[in-house]
Amino acid sequence: MTTQVTIRAMGAGGDGVANLPDGQVYVPFTLPGEVANVAREKNRATLMALLQTSPERQQPVCRHFEECGSCALQHWHDEPYRAWKRELVVSALKGRGLDVEVDALIPCSPRSRRRAVFAARQTERGMLLGFNRHMSHEIIDIVECPVTVREITSRLDDLREVASLLAPGSKPFRLAATLTDAGLDLAASDCGKLTDEQRRDLMALVIKKGFARLSHEGEIIVEPKKPTIQIGKVPVPVPPGGFLQATAEAEEIMASLVISHIGKAKRVADLFCGVGTFALRIAEKSAVHAIENDAAALVALDRAVRHVQGLKPVSIERRDLFRRPLMPKELLPYNAVLFDPPRAGAQEQATELAKSKVEKVVAVSCNPVTLARDLSILVNGGYRIRRVTPIDQFLWSSHVETVVSLVRA
């Protein structure tokens, strides 16, 4: 049975929202103002037919759109899409009582995503490799992806060969491909224990296909070339399965903003520093203390620092900032503090920063909701928000990166 609905707004997850007598219903792949027939299940619905389309609707650029669940918004014109994504940040801040000016969204290019985590599974029809269907565990076998760099999408058949050797059974698993300066770095997970024969076959195939490395659950299986990325002036080894910013383009934009906000600070603390995405660039002008709980990321950063000249001092500390945030006394040496936490945010660290005397704080976040929470803590502690800049690192999705500058009021 279908229900006719009118889409009133776009929800925070990128689905159209319709109001019905018994509550709201969320309809993927619709736009505000559209009228649709939908098949409803509780507060979610499947689009069955569009009866009236929005003038803001455009032709999606990917043949897999509406099947593949990775992109939600290819059907929306750029201008309203970007305004909506900026509004995600505005609304989150207002929800915490922060009525501040937010810059226009900085766009990022298609085909710029340098890391893709594919879902894979062997079937009677062959190896499926792609992304999950929207709100489902079904794998959509892809032949293109306009978000991801061509260096990855041009190798989909080769990746399927690797996947077939990794898990010949029918259990789904993950295969990540990251573009590095040495080529594609592959990392497999959830595919079970490998036999000696599998390892030998995988080593031969990876070498034959020219991949830089293959790791399995963090263990290096074969590494014909050492994967590195360039951060500022420094080549940095990439840990197996390690975290990198999704696009190099967005990383450069974010780093430029961070460095501008830090200004002439002589001593900087970089919290949740990863492999040194910001620390190594900041160190071109300022001494940096870099803190991270991921041991592999810190090893990579340490190796990078040891083999480069011309930087200001970079000290490194392994620390769980959720359990042991830097206390106000520990923050005394720093003129500026940068934090770039996971999606959960940095509530514990923001609480201690709010009690500190640090002159400048820069917050980087991929979650407007937890960012707003952390910023409200800092503002209540006497900081003033100077600038908020959203960046569209996650194209055609509901995710947005944000860089925020604060100063002691």
| Superfamily of chain region 83-109+245-408 | Vaccinia Virus protein VP39 (3.40.50.150)
- How many residues can be counted in the chain? 409
Nearest Cα to 35, choosing from 7, 67, 58?
Answer: 7
pTM: 0.95
pLDDT band of residue 1 (cuts 50, 70, 90) is confident
**pLDDT at position 169:** 84
- What are the φ and ψ backbone dihedral angles of 89, each rounded to 5 degrees? -75, -45
Please state the domain extents for the chain.
2-57, 83-109+245-408, 115-229
- Secondary-structure class of domain 115-229 per CATH: mainly beta
Determine what percent of the chain is predicted with pLDDT higher than 90.
96
Q: Is the pLDDT of residue 244 over 90?
A: yes
Q: What is the average pLDDT across 207-231?
A: 98
**pLDDT at position 135:** 86
The answer on whether 78 is annotated among ligand-binding residues is no
- The answer for residues whose C-beta is within 8 angstroms of residue 222's C-beta and 6 or more apart is 202, 203, 206, 207, 213, 214
DSSP string for 356-393: S--SEEEEEES-HHHHHHHHHHHHHTTEEEEEEEEE--
Nearest Cα to 361, choosing from 324, 389, 386, 327?
Answer: 386
Averaged pLDDT of the chain? 97
User: What letter represents residue 266's amino acid?
Assistant: K
Q: Is the pLDDT of residue 250 over 90?
A: yes
Which residues are identified as catalytic? Answer: 366
Q: What is the average pLDDT across 35-39?
A: 98
**pLDDT at position 111:** 98
* Separation of alpha carbons 187 and 60, rounded Å: 30
According to DSSP, residue 61 is labeled S
The helix or strand, by DSSP H or E, that contains position 205, with its residue range, turns out to be: helix 196-209
- For residues 338 and 318, the answer to whether their CB atoms sit within 8 Å is no
Sign of CA dihedral 207, 208, 209, 215: negative
Say whether 395 sits in a helix, a strand or coil: coil
Residue 45's CB is within 10 A of a number of other CB atoms, namely 24
Determine what percent of the chain is predicted with pLDDT higher than 70.
100
Task: Pick 246 or 135 by higher pLDDT.
Answer: 246
- Summarize pLDDT for 291-331 with one digit per residue, the tens: 999 999 999 999 999 989 999 999 999 999 999 999 999 99
The answer on whether 272 is annotated among ligand-binding residues is yes
Nearest Cα to 19, choosing from 1, 5, 31?
Answer: 5
Do the domains at 2-57 and 83-109+245-408 have one common CATH topology? no
**pLDDT at position 108:** 97
| Superfamily of chain region 2-57 | Nucleic acid-binding proteins (2.40.50.140)
The answer on whether 141 is annotated among ligand-binding residues is no
Q: Is the pLDDT of residue 168 over 90?
A: no
- For residues 269 and 289, the answer to whether their CB atoms sit within 8 Å is yes
The helix or strand, by DSSP H or E, that contains position 56, with its residue range, turns out to be: none
* Separation of alpha carbons 138 and 132, rounded Å: 5
Place of tokens 């990439």: 238
- Summarize pLDDT for 42-61 with one digit per residue, the tens: 999 999 999 999 999 999 99
Sign of CA dihedral 260, 266, 272, 276: positive
Q: What is the average pLDDT across 89-113?
A: 98
* Separation of alpha carbons 210 and 224, rounded Å: 8
- The answer for residues whose C-beta is within 8 angstroms of residue 34's C-beta and 6 or more apart is 6, 7, 16, 50, 52, 53, 54, 57
In 3-state terms the chain splits into helix, strand, coil percentages (rounded to 5) of 25, 35, 40
pLDDT band of residue 254 (cuts 50, 70, 90) is very high
The answer on whether 252 is annotated among ligand-binding residues is no
Q: What is the average pLDDT across 151-157?
A: 98
**pLDDT at position 34:** 99
